[in-house]
Each structure stands twice: as structure tokens, then as C-alpha cells.
Chains A and B, each alone.
Chain A
Amino acid sequence: MPQSTLIADSLNLMAIGMGTVFSFLLLLVLLLRGMSWLADKLVPGATEPALSPAPVMRDKQAADAELIAVISAAVARYRSQRRH
């Protein structure tokens, strides 16, 4: 391919490419705005993440309590077996 057409081709590619990238991301800006608006309509006021720290803490405490129960049961059983 002669050099001049190659440069013309690449200039062409640059114009189309930048145009596409910009229009794609511009459309995405609009769509994301629409999405946020819609999400707010569907679940009003749900701006906080679904998992708040509080239930996680409680789960952890519950898990700890369960763990303690299991361990003490095992210890009790071990001791009772040793006595025989």
C-alpha cells in the first residue's frame, strides 16, 4: 500500500475511533444517570450498601458463642472419658 493512502487511512481511523469512543462513553454517561434514577425509584433511599456492619458483628458473636459451646462440649467429653 502506498504511504500516502496509509496515512490517510490512519487519519480516518483516528477520527472514527475517537468519535466512537466518545459517543460510546457519552451514551454510557446518560445510561448510568438513567440507571441511578431508576434504581432510586425502585428502592427509594437505598443508598447504603445492603450489608451494614451491625448484622456482620452479630453473626460473628453468634459464631463465637457457638464455637465456645462446641469447644466446651468437647472438653467436657474428653475429661469424662479420661476419668474412666
Chain B
Amino acid sequence: MDELLKLWQSTGIANFDWGQVLMIAVGCGLIYLAIAKKFEPLLLVPIGFGAVLCNIPVAGIGGPDGLIGMIYTAGVETGIFPLLIFMGVGALTDFGALIARPSTLLLGAAAQFGIFATLIGAVALNLLPGFDFTLQDASAIAIIGGADGPTAIFLASRLAPDLLGAIAVAAYSYMALVPIIQPPIMRLLTTKKERAVVMQQLRPVSRLERILFPFVVLTLCALLLPSAAPLIGMLMFGNLLRESGVVERLSRAAQNEIINIVTIMLGLAVGSKLSADKFLALETLGILVLGALAFSIGTAAGVLMGKIMYRATGGKVNPLIGAAGVSAVPMAARVVNRVGLDADPHNFLLMHAMGPNVAGVIGSAVAAGVLLALTGS
């Protein structure tokens, strides 16, 4: 009889508590969104399954001695995974549009306003009962506005590890929602005439310029903002692998195998942070609301900067491309292209939007560096 009782006590049924059941449901919900609705499936499938695994009682997969717990400690707590992903992003990104028209960097800068406006929003939420965000928490939440998953995870792992699960889920959900959130804001802030502006074709960029580019960016970062050097350094390293043209194999590894393997591990590790006591909290709701706010403000700021450039250049810049300043490569650029086509079916803005789009990646890495330098311990 004793043995039978012992066996019963080691079953899942005897050990489940409601929080775990709910979190397994949340994990399955994420997997459903990924499979049925195609919401960022590359991340939400591993995150969702990681959440399911880590909420199985007794097994302790997400605990300090469990598989996913150890992956988390080794890869996310140290910041290694998001940085390796950044290397892959660098190897995947063609900065040609940015080199051909550097002024689009300003659009990438303006869109980062979403990050800093959300910072105020997060701190202001403290006025409501139940919220108690520190400046570090607020910074990690605000970076969702950068629309850059790896940057958000990197910053959250440095500044607010407790909120990492909610922040990562919010960041990736909003990236999937870019095509829904952005167009209304873009239409609201521009006139039909502005949306139909046809932009001058980009000049071709020489190989030497492409090879020098990573060094120029890295030099500036090293001189002014070393706290952003891990992110920008890996991004530029990946890009040099791509553009140098002599390490095709390494470049392909960074673009495919490494980024894929790291994505699996990162997803599982983030899933392990979806535990009931951390995720089923009022704070998560606040983070989701603030994330949407961050995104919308960033889009609006980018479009407004686009309008300033439209005026300043005498109508040569289509203000829509400003919306691509929130990174989310290449989704935001595609949205710009689509809204542009709505206004004029012969006006393809994709290449023009890639400039601000990749500028947004650099911009949010710089913003992360600033937040890290000023609020990090």
C-alpha cells in the first residue's frame, strides 16, 4: 500500500497546481498561434513548447539542473544567444540601401522615440496599484518598441531577468502584428499625395564601400558607446563575413545553421521563463499594453520624421518609408511597400524602405546601449 501511495505521489496528476496547468495552456496557445495563424512560428513554436515542458511538475526541466534550465543559464543569462543571432542577422542583411542613402539613418533614429516614450509610460504605470517597475524594468520593457527580438532579450537578460518571458513574448507577438498595427497609423499621418511620392532609384554601391561599412559603424560605436559594442560588434562581424566575399562558408553557416540552432535553444530557454508566478501577473498585462504603445509611437515618430524629410527635400522622400524605421526586418519594409502600392499601384517602395529598416536595427542597438550604460549596474 505504501508503494502505491508513493507511486501516486510521483505522478503528475498529484503534483499539478493550477498555475502550471494554465501555463501549459498558454504554451499550447502560442503553438496554436504559430501553426494556425503563422505568427512568428520560428520562435513561438520553441517558446510555446519550452513553456509546456517547463511546467511539467516533478520533472524540473526548467529548473537549475534541468535541460532547459541549463540552456537558459548558459545562453540567455550570459547574453550569448541574442548576440549569436545578431551575428546571423548581420550576415543576412544587405546594408546597400543604407550606404546608398545614409540620410535614411535619421528615420531609424526617429523611430526609436517609441522606446523612450514607453519608458515614461512604464514608470507612469507605477501610479496604478499593483505595478512596481524599477527604472531597469521600465528600460527593458521599453526596448520592445525597438521591434527587435534579440535586442529585447539581450537587454531584458541584463536589466530585468524576472520579466524576460513576458518581454520576449510581447516583442515577438508585436513583430508578428506589424502588418496589422502599422498601416492605420501610416495612413492617418500622411496624405494620399505624400504616399504616392515616387522616389529616385538608389545608386549602385561598390564592394569597397560594403567592406568598409562595418568598420565605420564599429569605430563610431567603440569611440562613443562601448556598451552597445556587443550588439553592434556581432552585427557588423556577421555583415563582414557576408560582404568580404572570401568566407562564403562561414557566412552561410552564420545565416543558416548557427542562427537556426540558436533560435531553437533561445526559444526553449525563453519558454522556461513562462512560469505561473512570473507570467500570470498583472505586470504581464502592463507589458503587453506598453509594448503595443511602444510600437505605435515608434511607427508614428518614424512617419513624422519622414514628413520632415519630405518637406526638406522638396517632395523627394516618401514619408511612408519612415515607418520602416522600427527594425522588424524585413516585415516593416514590406508593409511600407504594400501601403505605397495602395496609393499608387506602380510605386514599389521596398528597396527604399530597406534603408530605414536596417537603420532601425542599428538605432535600436544604440538605444539599448544607452539604456544599458545609464541604468545597468
> Interface of A with B (CB < 8 Å)?
1, 3, 6-7, 9-11, 13-14, 16-18, 20-22, 24-29, 31-33, 35-36, 38-40, 42-43, 46-51
Closest to A51 in B: B245
Asked if A26 and B220 sit within 8 Å, CB to CB, the answer is: no
How far apart sit A51 and B127, CA to CA, in the bound complex (Å)? Answer: 60
Given the known inter-chain contacts A18-B113, A35-B213, A39-B209, please indicate yes or no for A29 contacting B106, CB distance below 8 A.
Answer: yes
Asked if A24 and B224 sit within 8 Å, CB to CB, the answer is: yes
B130 to chain A, nearest CB (A): 14
Closest to B374 in A: A13
B202 to chain A, nearest CB (A): 11
Given the known inter-chain contacts A25-B109, A43-B208, A48-B204, please indicate yes or no for A17 contacting B120, CB distance below 8 A.
Answer: no
Given the known inter-chain contacts A10-B123, A28-B105, A50-B245, please indicate yes or no for A21 contacting B367, CB distance below 8 A.
Answer: yes
A32 to chain B, nearest CB (A): 4
How far apart sit A42 and B207, CA to CA, in the bound complex (Å)? Answer: 12
Asked if A49 and B207 sit within 8 Å, CB to CB, the answer is: yes
Asked if B135 and A13 sit within 8 Å, CB to CB, the answer is: yes
Which residues in chain B, 82-136, are within 8 Å of chain A measured between CB atoms?
98-99, 102-103, 105-106, 108-109, 112-113, 115-117, 119-120, 122-124, 126-127, 134-135
Given the known inter-chain contacts A16-B370, A21-B370, A47-B204, please indicate yes or no for A32 contacting B213, CB distance below 8 A.
Answer: yes
**Residues of A with C-beta under 8 A to B138:** 10
Q: Pick 8 A–B contacts, CB within 8 A, sort by A.
A: A13-B135, A17-B374, A18-B116, A28-B216, A29-B103, A31-B219, A31-B220, A39-B212
Which residues in chain B, 194-233, are within 8 Å of chain A measured between CB atoms?
203-209, 212-213, 216-217, 219-220, 224-225
How far apart sit A49 and B374, CA to CA, in the bound complex (Å)? Answer: 42
**Residues of B with C-beta under 8 A to A51:** 245
**Residues of B with C-beta under 8 A to A24:** 109, 220, 224-225, 366
Asked if A35 and B209 sit within 8 Å, CB to CB, the answer is: yes
Closest to B105 in A: A25
Asked if B126 and A6 sit within 8 Å, CB to CB, the answer is: yes
Tell whether B375 is near chain A: CB-to-CB under 8 Å.
Answer: yes
A76 to chain B, nearest CB (A): 35
Question: How many B residues are at the interface, by size bracket?
Answer: 35 or more
Given the known inter-chain contacts A21-B109, A24-B220, A24-B224, please indicate yes or no for A10 contacting B209, CB distance below 8 A.
Answer: no
Given the known inter-chain contacts A13-B375, A29-B105, A31-B216, please indicate yes or no for A42 contacting B208, CB distance below 8 A.
Answer: yes
How far apart sit A7 and B121, CA to CA, in the bound complex (Å)? Answer: 9
Closest to B103 in A: A29
Q: Which of A1, A25, A29 contacts B366 (CB 8 A)?
A: A25
Given the known inter-chain contacts A28-B217, A47-B203, please indicate yes or no for A13 contacting B99, CB distance below 8 A.
Answer: no
Asked if A47 and B206 sit within 8 Å, CB to CB, the answer is: yes
How far apart sit A27 and B222, CA to CA, in the bound complex (Å)? Answer: 13
Closest to A30 in B: B102
How far apart sit A31 and B215, CA to CA, in the bound complex (Å)? Answer: 11
How far apart sit A26 and B104, CA to CA, in the bound complex (Å)? Answer: 10
**Residues of B with C-beta under 8 A to A42:** 208
Asked if B206 and A43 sit within 8 Å, CB to CB, the answer is: yes
Which residues in chain B, 179-207, are within 8 Å of chain A measured between CB atoms?
203-207
How far apart sit A82 and B185, CA to CA, in the bound complex (Å)? Answer: 76
Closest to B119 in A: A10
**Residues of B with C-beta under 8 A to A10:** 119-120, 122-123, 135, 138
Known A20-B366, A25-B363, A29-B103; further 16 A-B contacts with Cβ < 8 A:
A1-B134, A6-B123, A7-B120, A10-B120, A17-B371, A24-B225, A25-B105, A25-B359, A26-B105, A28-B216, A28-B220, A32-B102, A35-B213, A36-B102, A47-B205, A51-B245
Closest to B206 in A: A46
**Residues of B with C-beta under 8 A to A25:** 105-106, 108-109, 359, 362-363, 366
How far apart sit A39 and B359, CA to CA, in the bound complex (Å)? Answer: 21
